[in-house]
Structure 1
Amino acid sequence: MANTKYGDVAGRFRNGVELFAGVPYASPPIGDLRFAAPAPLESWEGVRDTKRFSPASPQLPGEGLTDRFPVIWDEDCLYLNVVTPASDEKKRPVYVWIHGGAYRRGQGGVAWYDGTSFASRGDVVVVTINYRLGAFGFTELGKHFGEKFSSSGLNGFLDQIAALQWVKENIASFGGDPDQVTVGGESAGAFSVANLLASPLAKGLFHRAIAQSGAASHIHEPDAGADIASELLKALGNPTSEEILDLPAIEILEAQEALIEKWGFAARGVQPFYPVWGHEALPEAPIDLINNGSASDIPLLIGTNEDEMSLYGFTDLDERTLFRYVERIVENPKEVIDSYRKRVGDDSGWLACAIGSDWVFRIPAIRLAETREKHDGNTWMYLFSWDSRAFEGRFGSAHSLELPFTFNTLERAGVDIFIGEGELPTHVAEAMHDAWISFIRDGNPSTAVLGEWPTYTTENRAVMEINDLCDLLIDPQSEERSLWDGVR
């Protein structure tokens, strides 16, 4: 049992820790609130049952390894989950996790994000959240429908801030310390972490940050956001501001997916229905706000996986498709490809994967670290390079593969599909997991196993490689990194 400012909640014991699942943190975003900023939660009488996970935000299944199965969803989706060693008065560090999924899929109640090991091994309270996705969370309708819709390009982000506010106000009842909050996320969750670092509305709500495979470069400018909204409205038959509040959610989802398929990825890997800056929560582009010193006092742990783009089939690309991809993003494609050949070899698929992984993930992470250094911000960087044994060796260290390592959930359902057959790499998971615990607890990821892990600077460019044998690298892949100077 725990008490929140809105009422009492009853959780359950599971695997030696306490779980409170499906705890509301804002009013249901339905009816007139469909495209509005999150509204304060109303109190309830008695004890609310919080033993089962809530539905996810509205979403349709995709075609990838991580999103091809339908999930139970509902527009009433603003719930979070708490895993704690005990709902007592002890003040433990808190880890708030924001899931990925390209801002259109995912949920907090996923087995890979089970916080049990953080709680039992690290004495950490873990909070995982749902937030509005896709068109419901990130459609810039303000220019079309006026002030009532002014936050609609960032509502999913405002949901994340509302969840952090709930943590600040209530986590002490769950054995957590509201003054020791680390916010973390992967992919779109990591983009969200960077946005939180930039946002004036998030100041004071967290004290450390972890960004796995994501930085501050994936966001829409206001005009682009308004253009996407125009296309969505056209696909929906140009509804009025009143009519769009009554449209069936499935119609909006289907129009959203059709528009994403039509537009595909823009040059910088940003899909329709990503966040749109221009609201008070993000008055400028996040990287510009961070460049002006926002959150420079917040320690940041950031990194990428060596073969991010293999998740999206890049290792199967032929030579012709490789060249077409690279010429879309740089003016000197042959020079770039030839430079990567020195390390990667002549396999066109692995070349595409290496170049794409740098373009979309590694270089933006480096740019964020460099930007923070201007204001003496402490940033630690990692490179996850453990190779999966699955898919005939063509998966490598793919996007998302690090997740069950950081959460120490290698034995959860579905992980075996990603890592392949053979002995579980438990020692790698424990090394990575313990570094995360150290950072969450003390603001530094150094551990006895990894040794001293220095901050990343332009002078040392120190990167901790996470693999069967972990090692501190100094300016890894430096020639390839230099190719992107002035480009990315």
Structure 2
Amino acid sequence: MTSHTGDDTDRAAEARVTTGALAGRERDGIRRFLGIPYAKPPFDERRFAAPEPADAWEGVRDATRFGATAPQPPYGGDIAELLNSVVIEGDDILTVNVWAPADAANAPVVLWLHGGALERGSSAQSGYDGSTFAREGIVFVSANYRLGIEGFSVLEGSPLNLGLLDAALALEWVHREVAAFGGDRSHITLMGESAGGLLVAALASRPDSRELIVGAIIESGPLDADPPKRAGRASAAIAQHLGIRPTREAFSAVPPQDLIRARAELNRGGSLLSGSTASFSLALDPATLPQAPRDALVDFPHPILIGTNTDEYRIWFRPESLEKIRGLTAVAGRLALRISARAAREARAAFPDANPGEVLGQLLGEKLVRAPATRLARTRRTPTYVYEFAWQSPVRDLRAAHAVELGFVFDALDTDDAVALGGTDAPADLAREMHAAWVRFIRTGDPGWPRFDTDRITQVWDTTSRAMPQRRQGLVDALG
């Protein structure tokens, strides 16, 4: 651990990157620089185009505030009580933030990519403050990228996977500039959760991006990429709804908020279980993503830390809504998700006290993230470390739902984001233990428990944590 004086005086901090000088702040031995542009604003003539590196500026740029957030819809309904939306107006949305030990010299680096279903979220959320990593001697960088329609539409005349291209350019920025903050450009680890985990997996799959990193942390991230036609279902539906063609020219003529409004109108009444909502996804593309991560990561030559939460689905459904799913409704939901009867039997056996709606929810979470993560870990020969987060949050009976682990990973249980998901009495010892494992992986490529390998050893994080053979193996196997 980096030692600091404990001085909590807030003072000016300076750094210089290739595009100009930065004025940040230093407090308690941590230097913080926010809202640094890594690319030009992707609007006007650059809308729906590949990102371009940021221009140089004259004088000293203020780096004490987060940059603008990407256009996105707010969370609606019950989930808005749990997940925060930060809105910062402006066009300079492609920015990075840096937290670095004041005495950093060739320190290990981590680049964090936020989640939000490729449609929401930002690096400005309270739970993503990098101070806890910087206190451990790590240079922590977070990045914004284009979301939803602006970042993941499939349009004639526009490159595919624009949000992924943004993330790739942010990684290039880190590799080029992180030495200015005391970071080691040859020791960069990627880390992300949910959609951010998917982007981490995709960057580690791209031949040019994987050369810049030494490891990857994937938390509850899907590992798929779709053929362009399937990946374009959401943007095609928006085009039809608005009576325009799915082209760059036509979409560029519609203001971002009008596109977001059309998306909201189309999604009204849809759900994950019904299969009626077309999600944004990555597209297979020779130029931007030649292989799906589930295939490309098999030969990724560096360590991977990957895992899921026991009750992923409970972030998306209230307990009372799950109670209503019974009989033929449960069967119809399973068929809509293309899940076999064998897998359903395994889920019922693994969760004998669960009602039919909860069983269906477990099947959804297992299919989306846990089964793909397991398949990947089983096929890799390079060190792969698997975890399951199992601590039961008392908030809204979330249990170990999607995203609940974030406050523990960041060892920041007192942030608004963490309290919303885990309450005010979440176990601090578990947070310190998990955070230490993530820090160790970033430093060494080994989080401190056995590799997955043939014995399927998994670290289960709970009030009493332990490494053990993977639980519910029959269910994972039944899902293919």
Answer whether TM exceeds 0.5 for this pair. Answer: yes
Query: Does the CA-based 8 Å contact 1:81-1:128 persist in structure 2?
Result: yes
Q: What is the aligned partner in structure 2 of residue 385 from structure 1? A: 390
Q: What is the aligned partner in structure 1 of residue 144 from structure 2? A: 130
Q: Secondary structure at the match of 1:231?
A: helix
What residue identity is the alignment partner of 2:354? D
Looking at structure 2, the residues matched to 89 and 185 of structure 1 have their Cα atoms a distance apart, in angstroms, of: 23
| Mapping of residues 137-148 of structure 1, within 5 Å | 137-141=151-155, 144=156, 146=157
Residue 60 (structure 2) aligned to one of 20, 29, 47: 47
Query: Does the CA-based 8 Å contact 1:308-1:357 persist in structure 2?
Result: yes
Residue 252 of structure 2 is aligned to residue 249 of structure 1: no
Q: What is the aligned partner in structure 2 of residue 110 from structure 1? A: 125
Q: What is the aligned partner in structure 1 of residue 362 from structure 2? A: 354
Q: What is the aligned partner in structure 2 of residue 62 from structure 1? A: 75
1:62-107 CA deviation, whole Å, 9 max, x = no partner? 2214446562344430011101112x66110111100000001000
Residue 193 (structure 1) aligned to one of 200, 219, 233: 200
Q: What is the aligned partner in structure 2 of residue 364 from structure 1? A: 372
Residue 405 (structure 2) aligned to one of 398, 402, 407: 402
Looking at structure 2, the residues matched to 245 and 269 of structure 1 have their Cα atoms a distance apart, in angstroms, of: 27
| Mapping of residues 27-426 of structure 1, within 5 Å | 27-63=40-76, 64=79, 65-67=81-83, 69=85, 71-86=87-102, 90-120=105-135, 122-141=136-155, 144=156, 146=157, 149=158, 151=159, 153-217=160-224, 219-238=225-244, 241-261=248-268, 265=272, 271-291=278-298, 293=299, 295=300, 297-313=301-317, 315-316=319-320, 317=322, 318-320=325-327, 321-330=329-338, 332-333=340-341, 335-348=342-355, 349-371=357-379, 373=380, 376-391=381-396, 394-422=397-425, 424-426=426-428
Residue 462 of structure 2 is aligned to residue 454 of structure 1: no
**Normalization by structure 1: what TM-score?**
0.88
Looking at structure 1, the residues matched to 313 and 173 of structure 2 have their Cα atoms a distance apart, in angstroms, of: 35
Question: Residue 304 and residue 176 in structure 1: after superposition, are their counterparts in 2 closer, same or farther (change >3 A)?
Answer: same
1:419 Cα offset (Å): 1.6
Residue 410 of structure 2 is aligned to residue 427 of structure 1: no
Question: Residue 188 and residue 44 in structure 1: after superposition, are their counterparts in 2 closer, same or farther (change >3 A)?
Answer: same
Q: Secondary structure at the match of 1:48?
A: strand
1:370 Cα offset (Å): 2.3
Q: What is the aligned partner in structure 2 of residue 437 from structure 1? A: 439
Looking at structure 1, the residues matched to 250 and 358 of structure 2 have their Cα atoms a distance apart, in angstroms, of: 48
Q: Which consecutive unaligned segments of at least 5 residues does structure 1 have?
A: 447-452
Q: Which consecutive unaligned segments of at least 5 residues does structure 2 have?
A: 1-13
Q: What is the aligned partner in structure 1 of residue 9 from structure 2? A: none
Q: Secondary structure at the match of 1:473?
A: strand
1:260 Cα offset (Å): 4.2
Q: Percent identity?
A: 33
Looking at structure 2, the residues matched to 338 and 287 of structure 1 have their Cα atoms a distance apart, in angstroms, of: 26
CA RMSD, Structure 1 to Structure 2 (Å): 2.2
What residue identity is the alignment partner of 1:380? Y
Looking at structure 1, the residues matched to 476 and 31 of structure 2 have their Cα atoms a distance apart, in angstroms, of: 45
Looking at structure 1, the residues matched to 335 and 458 of structure 2 have their Cα atoms a distance apart, in angstroms, of: 29
Question: Residue 124 and residue 268 in structure 1: after superposition, are their counterparts in 2 closer, same or farther (change >3 A)?
Answer: farther
Question: Residue 383 and residue 22 in structure 1: after superposition, are their counterparts in 2 closer, same or farther (change >3 A)?
Answer: same
Residue 17 (structure 1) aligned to one of 26, 30, 37: 30
Looking at structure 2, the residues matched to 269 and 94 of structure 1 have their Cα atoms a distance apart, in angstroms, of: 40
Query: Does the CA-based 8 Å contact 2:154-2:232 persist in structure 1?
Result: yes
What residue identity is the alignment partner of 1:480? L
Looking at structure 2, the residues matched to 164 and 176 of structure 1 have their Cα atoms a distance apart, in angstroms, of: 13
Looking at structure 1, the residues matched to 275 and 240 of structure 2 have their Cα atoms a distance apart, in angstroms, of: 25
Runs of 4+ in 1 over 6 A off after TM superposition: 266-270
What residue identity is the alignment partner of 1:354? Q
What residue identity is the alignment partner of 1:19? R
1:279 Cα offset (Å): 4.1
1:230-276 CA deviation, whole Å, 9 max, x = no partner? 33223333167445324222111112333444775499999432221
**Normalization by structure 2: what TM-score?**
0.90
Looking at structure 2, the residues matched to 194 and 414 of structure 1 have their Cα atoms a distance apart, in angstroms, of: 24
1:301-342 CA deviation, whole Å, 9 max, x = no partner? 000000100111164413234333223234643x43333233
1:355 Cα offset (Å): 2.0
